[in-house]
Structure 1
Amino acid sequence: MKHPVTPDGRYFVVRGRLWRMSNPGIGEDERSKLTKRLMTARRAVRDAEAQEDPKAEAAAHRAVDDAKRALGERGPVWWDDGSPDLNRHMVKNTTYADWYAKTGRSGPEGS
């Protein structure tokens, strides 16, 4: 497993930080379309940066944000139990701290 996923499937952890997973309620066809849209937008960001085109870059960043929101990685949470959104929080400062410590990745090399 490259990045550990929280037991509830809401986040994965990279360098000790939580990142929200895509909404598991999205069907595979739709997820595939949205993922392609996200990757296209990310390439547009790269290309706009290389061309030093701030207007194109801003539009590309908006397209990335739109795709991430459609996937459920940003914006309103996709779960309905009232739990807060901990996206981008350091895992050690959250209710997932004990779980993460048990993964063996909570040291400097895993955080």
Structure 2
Amino acid sequence: MTIDDATTDGERWLVIDGRRWRRTDPALPDDVQAALRSHLGRGRGAVRAAKAAKDPRAEAAARRRVDLAKHGLGERGPRWWDEPEDDRIARANAAIRELDALG
């Protein structure tokens, strides 16, 4: 099942400096998006700190946090427009639970 065929490439992709980035799944509730973006920001900060400290283990853990958040937002992994909305929201909530468990 795919999301409405009226969804355009402009609604699916964001182009910055000629590079195409997948947009966040628009079906995700605002609170879910906010929680995932919070985790994403913390993950990105942890990547910077780990790189500065030259700590490859911490960097890998931080990159995992970023990856989980990006998957939850629909910006990585299966294309959100190709999946049922309920599955996408369930994946986002599962990502939040996993990220919350990481601390």
Q: In structure 2, what is the equivalent of residue 44 of structure 1?
A: 46
Aligned length: 76
Q: 2:72 aligns with which of 63, 70, 73?
A: 70
Structure 1 residue ranges (4+ consecutive) displaced by more than 6 angstroms after TM superposition = none
Q: 1:13 aligns with which of 12, 15, 20?
A: 15
TM-score normalised by structure 1 residue count = 0.65
1:16 Cα deviation from its structure 2 partner: 1.0
CA RMSD of aligned residues (A): 1.5
TM-score normalised by structure 2 residue count = 0.69
1:58 Cα deviation from its structure 2 partner: 0.7
What are structure 2's unaligned runs of at least 5 residues? Answer: 1-7, 84-103
Letter in 1 for 2:25: N
SS of the residue 1:34 aligns to:
helix
1:20 Cα deviation from its structure 2 partner: 0.1
Letter in 2 for 1:55: R
Which is greater in Rg? Answer: 1
1:7 Cα deviation from its structure 2 partner: 5.2
| Greater helix proportion | 2
1:8 Cα deviation from its structure 2 partner: 4.0
Q: Equivalents in 2 of 1:69, 1:38: separation in Å?
A: 10
1:15 Cα deviation from its structure 2 partner: 1.1
What are structure 1's unaligned runs of at least 5 residues? Answer: 1-5, 82-111
Q: Equivalents in 1 of 2:10, 2:72: separation in Å?
A: 20
